[in-house]
Amino acid sequence: MWGGPFILGLLTAIAGVVLLGGTFFTSMVTIFFVGMMLVVGGVLEIAAAIRSRNESRSAFWSFMLGGVLTTVVGILTVMYPAAGLASLTLLIAGYFFASGLFHVITAVMDRYFQWGWDLAYGLISLVLGLSVMARWPTSSVWLVGTMVGLAVFFRGISMMSGSLILRRGLRHVEA
């Protein structure tokens, strides 16, 4: 009962290591996937606009313009993956910076229980955001691929951990 999820977690962790070994390839596949998802989402939004055209004019134009914009951005991302990757990297760096700044300010101002951990998280996020921005656009080559590889790797570790907890629980029930 626990062996299948453990093996799946092991294979997932190995896949994460492989993805980390080819961060540029991983980044390019990821940005292609993001672009295709934008195209699909945009087309579905256009379809929703067409379906709602008799109900509300404002909803029609909102869905239609949003769908066209999403579709165009998706097509451009697929056609020019390097530009899409550079844009995504800048967006992620901005998120790290803004999130880190928010955590630093709230931790210092509020001093809630264990605020030091949140302060440390904020400072690390600030440094990471500034570091990625300072090396942009060359950081585009490795950032997205590294993040995807780490996410897949730690998902595999999590699956293995969960299956071992299940194994321990099953042994406890049998005993």
pLDDT digits (tens, 9 = 90+) for 29-71: 999 999 999 999 999 999 989 888 877 777 888 889 999 999 9
Type of residue found at 108: V
Distance CA 45, CA 172 (A): 51
Which band of pLDDT confidence, cut at 50, 70 and 90, is reported for residue 155? very high
Domain spans, the chain: 1-79, 81-157
For the entire predicted model, the pTM comes to: 0.72
Q: What is the pLDDT of residues 70-79, one digit of tens each?
A: 999 999 999 9
